[in-house]
Protein backbone atom coordinates (compact mmCIF):
# COMPACT_ATOMS: atom_id res chain seq x y z
CA UNK A 1 0.00 0.00 0.00
CA UNK A 2 1.14 3.54 -0.71
CA UNK A 3 0.04 6.97 0.59
CA UNK A 4 0.76 9.97 -1.65
CA UNK A 5 -0.10 13.67 -1.51
CA UNK A 6 0.08 16.77 -3.66
CA UNK A 7 -0.94 20.36 -3.00
CA UNK A 8 -4.50 21.00 -4.11
CA UNK A 9 -3.53 24.44 -5.41
CA UNK A 10 -0.76 23.10 -7.64
CA UNK A 11 -0.58 20.99 -10.74
CA UNK A 12 2.43 18.89 -9.82
CA UNK A 13 2.83 15.17 -9.36
CA UNK A 14 1.88 13.18 -6.29
CA UNK A 15 4.74 12.78 -3.82
CA UNK A 16 5.04 9.61 -1.76
CA UNK A 17 4.43 10.09 1.95
CA UNK A 18 4.64 6.41 2.92
CA UNK A 19 5.17 3.27 0.85
CA UNK A 20 5.18 -0.32 2.12
CA UNK A 21 7.39 -1.47 -0.75
CA UNK A 22 10.45 -0.05 1.06
CA UNK A 23 10.06 -2.85 3.68
CA UNK A 24 10.48 -0.43 6.63
CA UNK A 25 6.96 1.04 6.40
CA UNK A 26 3.59 -0.41 7.33
CA UNK A 27 0.38 1.39 6.35
CA UNK A 28 -2.97 0.89 8.06
CA UNK A 29 -6.20 2.46 6.94
CA UNK A 30 -8.20 2.79 10.15
CA UNK A 31 -11.34 3.97 8.45
CA UNK A 32 -12.73 5.72 5.42
CA UNK A 33 -16.05 7.04 6.72
CA UNK A 34 -18.16 9.41 4.66
CA UNK A 35 -21.28 11.41 5.37
CA UNK A 36 -23.74 12.97 2.94
CA UNK A 37 -25.35 16.33 3.53
CA UNK A 38 -29.14 16.06 3.72
CA UNK A 39 -31.50 19.02 3.78
CA UNK A 40 -34.47 18.52 6.09
CA UNK A 41 -37.19 21.17 5.78
CA UNK A 42 -40.31 21.31 7.92
CA UNK A 43 -43.53 21.64 5.95
CA UNK A 44 -46.29 23.95 7.07
CA UNK A 45 -49.02 21.78 8.59
CA UNK A 46 -47.18 18.71 7.36
CA UNK A 47 -46.92 15.56 9.43
CA UNK A 48 -43.41 14.87 8.13
CA UNK A 49 -40.58 17.12 6.93
CA UNK A 50 -39.38 17.26 3.35
CA UNK A 51 -36.07 15.44 2.98
CA UNK A 52 -33.77 16.39 0.11
CA UNK A 53 -30.52 14.45 -0.36
CA UNK A 54 -27.69 16.67 -1.56
CA UNK A 55 -24.57 15.61 -3.41
CA UNK A 56 -22.23 17.18 -0.84
CA UNK A 57 -20.23 14.37 0.73
CA UNK A 58 -17.52 14.72 3.32
CA UNK A 59 -15.03 11.92 3.98
CA UNK A 60 -12.67 11.46 6.92
CA UNK A 61 -9.84 9.08 6.02
CA UNK A 62 -7.74 7.96 8.96
CA UNK A 63 -4.34 6.49 8.13
CA UNK A 64 -1.41 5.21 10.20
CA UNK A 65 2.09 4.98 8.72
CA UNK A 66 4.49 3.03 10.95
CA UNK A 67 8.05 3.71 9.81
CA UNK A 68 11.37 2.43 11.16
CA UNK A 69 14.19 4.97 10.83
CA UNK A 70 17.97 4.52 10.78
CA UNK A 71 18.52 6.70 13.87
CA UNK A 72 16.60 8.33 16.71
CA UNK A 73 17.44 11.74 15.23
CA UNK A 74 15.82 10.76 11.92
CA UNK A 75 12.79 9.42 13.78
CA UNK A 76 12.41 12.69 15.67
CA UNK A 77 12.93 14.78 12.51
CA UNK A 78 10.11 12.86 10.78
CA UNK A 79 7.59 14.59 13.04
CA UNK A 80 8.38 17.91 11.37
CA UNK A 81 7.78 16.39 7.92
CA UNK A 82 4.33 15.09 8.84
CA UNK A 83 3.43 18.28 10.77
CA UNK A 84 3.92 20.42 7.66
CA UNK A 85 0.59 19.18 6.31
CA UNK A 86 -1.36 21.50 8.64
CA UNK A 87 -2.74 24.65 7.04
CA UNK A 88 -2.89 23.63 3.37
CA UNK A 89 -5.26 21.54 1.26
CA UNK A 90 -3.90 18.40 -0.36
CA UNK A 91 -5.12 15.71 -2.69
CA UNK A 92 -4.57 12.33 -1.03
CA UNK A 93 -4.07 9.08 -2.91
CA UNK A 94 -4.24 5.67 -1.23
CA UNK A 95 -3.00 3.01 -3.61
CA UNK A 96 -2.92 -0.79 -3.50
CA UNK A 97 -1.59 -2.31 -6.71
CA UNK A 98 -3.69 -0.86 -9.58
CA UNK A 99 -6.48 0.43 -7.32
CA UNK A 100 -6.21 4.08 -6.28
CA UNK A 101 -8.63 6.01 -4.08
CA UNK A 102 -8.37 9.80 -4.33
CA UNK A 103 -9.51 12.23 -1.65
CA UNK A 104 -9.55 15.77 -3.10
CA UNK A 105 -9.03 18.94 -1.07
CA UNK A 106 -8.06 17.13 2.11
CA UNK A 107 -7.05 19.01 5.26
CA UNK A 108 -5.15 17.42 8.10
CA UNK A 109 -7.34 17.48 11.23
CA UNK A 110 -5.00 15.74 13.64
CA UNK A 111 -1.58 14.14 13.71
CA UNK A 112 -0.25 11.97 16.56
CA UNK A 113 3.27 10.54 16.49
CA UNK A 114 4.04 7.63 18.83
CA UNK A 115 7.67 6.63 19.37
CA UNK A 116 9.05 3.16 20.10
CA UNK A 117 12.82 3.10 19.70
CA UNK A 118 13.62 3.78 16.04
CA UNK A 119 10.01 3.24 14.96
CA UNK A 120 7.43 6.03 14.76
CA UNK A 121 3.70 5.44 14.35
CA UNK A 122 2.34 8.48 12.46
CA UNK A 123 -1.45 8.59 12.93
CA UNK A 124 -3.25 11.09 10.67
CA UNK A 125 -6.91 12.07 10.54
CA UNK A 126 -7.99 14.01 7.44
CA UNK A 127 -11.21 15.56 6.22
CA UNK A 128 -11.81 15.70 2.47
CA UNK A 129 -14.40 15.95 -0.26
CA UNK A 130 -16.09 12.87 -1.70
CA UNK A 131 -13.98 9.88 -2.64
CA UNK A 132 -13.21 9.55 -6.32
CA UNK A 133 -11.35 7.06 -8.49
CA UNK A 134 -9.98 9.55 -11.03
CA UNK A 135 -7.06 11.82 -10.27
CA UNK A 136 -8.14 15.34 -9.25
Q: What is the pLDDT of residues 25-61, one digit of tens each?
A: 999 998 888 888 888 999 999 899 999 888 788 899 9
Q: How many domains in the chain?
A: 1
Q: Please report whether residue 71 resides in a domain.
A: yes
Nearest to 135 by CA among 90, 88, 101, 107: 101
Q: Rounded to the nearest 5°, which phi and psi values hold at 71?
A: -150, 165
Q: Please report whether residue 122 resides in a domain.
A: yes
Does position 135 have pLDDT exceeding 80, yes or no?
A: yes
Does position 11 have pLDDT exceeding 80, yes or no?
A: no
Does position 71 have pLDDT exceeding 80, yes or no?
A: yes
Q: Please report whether residue 41 resides in a domain.
A: no
Residues contacting 3, CB < 8 A, separation 6+? 16, 17, 18, 19, 27, 63, 65, 92, 93, 94, 95
Q: Please report whether residue 43 resides in a domain.
A: no
CATH of the domain at 107: 2.40.30
Q: Please report whether residue 63 resides in a domain.
A: yes
Name the DSSP class of 131.
-
Residue range 60-79: average pLDDT? 95
Tell me the residue range of the domain where 111 lies. 2-34+53-129
Residue range 97-105: average pLDDT? 94
Q: Please report whether residue 47 resides in a domain.
A: no
Q: What is the pLDDT of residue 92?
A: 95
Q: Please report whether residue 70 resides in a domain.
A: yes
Q: Please report whether residue 57 resides in a domain.
A: yes
Amino acid sequence: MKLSTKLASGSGLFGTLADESDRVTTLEVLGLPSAAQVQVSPLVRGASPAIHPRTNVQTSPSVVATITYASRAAALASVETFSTFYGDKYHLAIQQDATVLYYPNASLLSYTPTFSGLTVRHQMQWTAQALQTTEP
